[in-house]
Amino acid sequence: MGRKSSKSKRNKRKNSKKKSKSSKEHSNSHHKSKKHGNKMNDLQSVASAIKRGDIRKIVWLSGAGISVSAGIPDFRTKGTGLYSRLEKYELPRPECTFDIEYFKKKPEAFFDLAKTLLPGEHVPTRTHMFLKLLSDKGLLHRTYTQNIDGLERLAGVPEHKIVEAHGSFAKSYCVNCKAQYDNDAMRSAILKNEIPHCKKCGGLAKPGIVFFGESLPKRFHKMHRSDMKSCDLLIVAGTSLRVQPFSELPRIVKGVPRLLINRECVGEGGHNGFDFDSKHTQDVLALGNCDDVVSKLAELLGWTEELEARCPPRRERKPSFVENVVDSVVDTLERGMKALKVF
């Protein structure tokens, strides 16, 4: 009788383990199906997933495109980008502005450009305020930015949620002896078109912006891999994805939706690049101005009033003198060609 009782208990324990295992597998499969979901192909499907609560941990990657409407030009747009204003320096290539070895020899180009990028000269854009809104709603896990303008901080995004992958103007130091350099003195030198030098060793001083040839901040290396692997939505906005290792971050993210908000399609091809065309893709492409796209997303989420309350009034941009002259010339040419019956 005792043996039967013991055997019966063992069977019960086995059945209990099977049920527990089955329950665990069901839970895991439910989590996976929720994580992978159905195909996403537009902003509406992204908004729907957020509203359902399927998305709760967003990682956001930003480039210069999110700051253009703040009056800060991007780097590479021909004619208007920041690199275009450096032609007078006859650089071997525009990127030399941010090359540490070139900077040591000819720092003038960088300090000319630095005036345009100084924090305090610009206000956050609608995209920055949308980031703040995501943070306030507990949906923003982290934002990684290539920008050095500090507008995420100014928008009110908590510092622990920001990773400034390419550094910032928050600190300055000597390139030679690495001693800290007074930030107010750095700002003053930049505004006066002066080249700052270390008071200890006389070496060149520079803001804490990461140049080509320098290591990215420890915070970036410490956090990026775990953040990319744990998020349930990745948003990439306003970047050409040309500068490594930042450009490789989207490729770490697997099995969850990835939304690209940009004026052009980037980051396709190669290992785990964006794929906007396959049958079961969860990659979504939203082409256009960043502010316009996030305004549309806010509308789909029912957050328009909340976003508007955080944003300064949208001012209509007046055409520049050059644009007016060009428009006038084009109009004159068109009228002349019509008079000649060219078209």
User: Any alpha helices (H) in the chain, and if so which ranges?
Assistant: 2-36, 43-52, 100-105, 108-117, 126-136, 151-155, 183-191, 218-230, 249-252, 290-301, 304-310, 321-339
Q: Confirm whether 166 is a catalytic residue.
A: yes
**Of 166, 224, 271, 280, which is the active-site residue?**
166
**Cα three-residue angle 287-290-291, rounded to 5 degrees:** 130
Of the candidates 283, 276, 271, 164, the one whose C-alpha atom is nearest the C-alpha of residue 235 is 283
Hey, CA dihedral for 88, 92, 95, 101, is it positive or negative?
A: negative
Contact status, residue 152 vs residue 128, Cβ threshold 8 Å? yes
Contacts of residue 74, Cβ cutoff 8 Å, sequence gap at least 6: 63, 64, 65, 67, 68, 81, 82, 238
69 vs 126: CA distance, rounded Å: 9
Bridge partners of residue 283, in order along the sequence: 258
Sole residue written with tokens 């690209």: 260
Number of CB atoms found within 10 A of residue 14's CB: 10
Amino acid at site 330: V
Identify the burial level of 22 via C-beta atoms within 10 angstroms of its C-beta, where 0-12 means exposed, 13-18 middle and 19 or more buried. Answer: exposed
Residue among 54, 44, 121 nearest 297 (CA): 44
Catalytic residues: 166
